[in-house]
Amino acid sequence: MAKKVTAQTDNHVARLDATGVYYRDLNAQIKKLAADSAHRIELSNVCGQRYIGTDIESTVEIDITGTPGNDLGAFMNGPRIIVHGNAQDCCGNTMNEGEIIIHGHAGDIMGMAARGGKIFVRDDVGYRAGNHMKEYKEKKPVLVIGGTAQDFLGEYMAGGVLVLLGLDLEPGENHKANFIGTGMHGGVIYLRGTVEDYQLGKEVGTAELDDKDKAILKELVNQFSSYFGKDSAKILNHKFIKLYPRYLRPYGRLYAY
Amino acid sequence: MKDIKLVNNPYGDSKVIDACSIFGAMDTSGKRFSGVGVIKAIANMHLRGNGLGGGLAVYGLYPEYPEHYAFHIMYLSDQGKCETEAFLKDKFDVAFDETVPTRPIPAIVNPPLVRRYFLKVGKHNPEGQSEDDYVVERVMDINTKLCDSFVFSSGKNMGVFKGVGYPEEIGEYFRLEEYEGYLWTAHGRFPTNTPGWWGGAHPFSILDWTVVHNGEISSYGINKRYLEQFGYHCTMQTDTEVIAYAVDLLVRRHHLPIDVVADILAPPFWSEIQRLPAERQILLRTLRQVYGSLLLNGPFTVIIAHQGEMIGLTDRIRLRPLTVGTKDNMLYLSSEESAIRLICPDLDRAWIPVGGEPVVGNLAHPLMSQKVGAAGRTG
């Protein structure tokens, strides 16, 4: 992967063919283009390059065709990433600001430790999505998942909003994830459909959505629908449940004698 | 051994992003294909390894000797070669033997001599002992009693090629683009708890079973002691070895189907067992009583293969990644989807299976149905 990368820039839109380009070279080039006033960077033939969107201090739009590598948008602080394909593991790792829109599915630990920004996934996600997301004052990360999730969704969640829509479930089919919200001690999960009690972590409570919840959910589902061409009203016209942390410090006494 | 600091991170910023990489490709119609694509795919995950181990397994490799046990043996000394060749002549009918052709490349430093032998058991096995059991015993004899010799491949019509280097370097060294098979697995190693040496590279193999593995088996000690009772001796200094012997014991000797093997290696949690139908509860409880010592604890994703079948399996809470892709007759398993897309951009389906549920493709069934849902079901 030693191929040098060259970009064609046209009216603030840069185009890059990522075929065979080493991830460090690719990211150096993206950073340079963003600094040189590109408003939009279109990457084609991306195939496993990691850390795309990391270390860029701007709101540049990065449009990706292909399969970006792990840690897409890790520590991201501003850009907007659109993926035409699936994302791998650790997407949005510790992201702070910006947006990731995935026209496909995402792998494990999506949004891990996120502290701001938004991720929208059209289809399913793997294990541990939203693991230890956190919030502080106006910084509030958001994950909206169109499909379903695998186990440990929202594990150790400390803040932010996680929406699970289950749009690809068959009629009458439930989410299958177990250990949802294990260790959760902050934030909220809005789950379309329902789950059995045994699927939830011990630290999770279930409630109906109040008007404030419904307003937040509606705005996020509207945004999700506008990205993926879905019918927002139809999605919202369905039973949702709210999952919340029952304790602020679930393990406060775990190692205390 | 290579200087890890030199090969691992040329940027000097102390970031190490290693993990093992695994890849498997199978044409479930049995059509053979060259290793070029597989090597390209595993090389796309170059970053995951650190050059201290790479290897590939190939099935349908030796159609000219389909009924002979093909031994691949690495020798660390001439004495080892003399002792072992005398042993082989005494214990087998040797149809043909040769040094495995290699291509010297700068990346492969100080390789051992690797030779292959096509063997028949003939009349050498004692009455009542199967040929396969006889072969396993002789492999153990060579690996534990004869000096400087390690049998790292001993199946029929298949073979393992491995060593210290990145997998694409091992592929180049052993000229794997010249071979064809209908099933290939590949591994790039990032050694964690044990040394990077030629025998410690993946795949691990006994008879025609091979295993490539990402993760670590914290139950290695228990598994190893259990397997010793059945005559399997771990000599490669790496945890993965126990999986190869475990599947040989469970499938070949105890005749268990592969979904039961998955229930033994990666059983559901007790809390989940409690919720299952009574009959399945009895099965799972029995398996944990009888085969508790073969439960694999710790994070793992493995690709297990044998003649005609490839199996992907992760630990029950999927602490290591596995992605599946299919296209017509082709089944791909990989640590990362991008590696599959590189050689097959227009997959029919790509998805992420659930932890502890095996993904099985074989010559009779291109893809056995999955018991539970998986991420990416819609494409």
List pLDDT tens digits, range B75-99.
999 999 999 999 999 999 999 999 9
Q: Is B292 on the interface with A (CB under 8 A)?
A: no
pLDDT over threshold 50, residue B50:
yes
- B304 forms beta bridges with B211, B311
Strands A240-245 and A142-145: unpaired
Cβ distance B101 to B130 under 8 Å?
Answer: no
Give Cβ neighbours of residue B266 (< 8 Å, ≥ 6 apart): B295, B296, B313, B314, B315, B316, B355, B356
**Rounded Cα distance, A89 and A93, in Å:** 9
Sheet-wide strand order for B349-351? B158-163, B54-59, B183-188, B21-27, B330-334, B323-327, B349-351
Cβ distance B305 to B181 under 8 Å?
Answer: no
Closest by alpha carbon to A204, among A253, A163, A152?
Answer: A152
Dihedral sign, Cα of residue B181, residue B185, residue B189, residue B195 = negative
DSSP A28-89: HHHHHHHHTT-SEEEEEEEES---TTTT--S--EEEEEEE--SSTTTT-EEEEEEEES---T
- Give me chain A's average pLDDT, please: 95
Residue B109, helix vs strand vs coil: coil
Give Cβ neighbours of residue A62 (< 8 Å, ≥ 6 apart): A30, A40, A41, A43, A52, A53, A79, A80, A81, A82
| Amino acid identity for residue A88 in this structure | Q
**Rounded Cα distance, B333 and B185, in Å:** 9
pLDDT over threshold 50, residue A241:
yes
Q: Is B48 on the interface with A (CB under 8 A)?
A: no
Which of B17, B337, B351 comes nearest A67 by C-beta?
B337
Sheet-wide strand order for A61-67? A7-10, A13-17, A40-47, A61-67, A77-84, A97-102, A118-121, A142-145, A158-164, A186-192, A240-245, A204-207
Residue B9: Cβ within 10 Å count: 16
Q: Is B376 on the interface with A (CB under 8 A)?
A: yes
List pLDDT tens digits, range B257-303.
999 999 999 999 999 999 999 999 999 999 999 999 999 999 999 99
Q: What is the mean pLDDT of residues B333-346?
A: 98
Measure the CA dihedral B348/B352/B358/B363, to 10°: 20
**Rounded Cα distance, B212 and B193, in Å:** 16
| Amino acid identity for residue A123 in this structure | D
**pLDDT > 90 in chain A, percent:** 88
CA angle centred on A230, ends A226 and A232, rounded to 5° = 80
Q: Is A29 on the interface with B (CB under 8 A)?
A: no
Cβ distance A130 to A105 under 8 Å?
Answer: no
Q: Is B259 on the interface with A (CB under 8 A)?
A: no
Q: Going from the N-terminus, what domains does chain B have, and what CATH number goes with each?
A: 17-362 (3.60.20.10)
Strands B54-59 and B69-75: unpaired
Residue B281 tokens, joined: 């509860």
Q: Residue A175's closest chain B neighbor by CA?
A: B373
**Rounded Cα distance, B286 and A174, in Å:** 30
Give Cβ neighbours of residue B141 (< 8 Å, ≥ 6 apart): B87
Q: How confident is the model at residue B162 (pLDDT cuts 50, 70, 90)?
A: very high
**Rounded Cα distance, A203 and A218, in Å:** 26
The answer to whether A147 contacts B323, with C-beta atoms less than 8 Å apart, is no
Cβ distance B198 to B164 under 8 Å?
Answer: yes
Chain A hits for B378, CB-CB cut-off 8 Å, are 123-124, 147, 168
Q: Going from the N-terminus, what domains does chain A have, and what CATH number goes with each?
A: 105-245 (2.160.20.60)
For this structure, is B147 an active site residue? no
Q: What is the mean pLDDT of residues A88-113?
A: 98
Residue B253 tokens, joined: 């000797």
Q: Is A67 on the interface with B (CB under 8 A)?
A: yes
What is the per-residue pLDDT for B4? 47
Supply the angle between the helices B131-145 and B78-91 in degrees, to the nearest 10. Answer: 160
The answer to whether B321 contacts A108, with C-beta atoms less than 8 Å apart, is yes
**Rounded Cα distance, B221 and B208, in Å:** 24
pLDDT over threshold 60, residue B5:
no
What is the per-residue pLDDT for B370? 61
Residue A107 tokens, joined: 């792998």
Q: What is the mean pLDDT of residues A170-180?
A: 93
ipTM: 0.94
More confident residue, A140 or B9: A140
Point out the catalytic residue in the list B20, B147, B234, B344. Answer: B20
Alpha-carbon separation of residue B149 from B239, B325, B360, B363 (angstroms): 20, 38, 34, 34
pLDDT over threshold 80, residue A257:
no
Which of B317, B321, B354 comes nearest A107 by C-beta?
B321
Residue A102, helix vs strand vs coil: strand
pLDDT over threshold 70, residue A12:
yes
| Amino acid identity for residue B100 in this structure | V
User: pTM of the entire structure?
Assistant: 0.94
Q: Residue A19's closest chain B neighbor by CA?
A: B342
Q: What is the mean pLDDT of residues B180-191?
A: 95
- Give the lowest-confidence range in A98-112, B6-20, B310-324: B6-20
pLDDT over threshold 50, residue B1:
no
What is the per-residue pLDDT for B379? 42
What is the per-residue pLDDT for A248? 85
The answer to whether A148 contacts B375, with C-beta atoms less than 8 Å apart, is yes
**Rounded Cα distance, B278 and A254, in Å:** 35
Tokens 């259990």, residue located: B226
Best of A51, A54, A70, A200 to disrupt the B interface (most B CBs within 10 Å) is A70
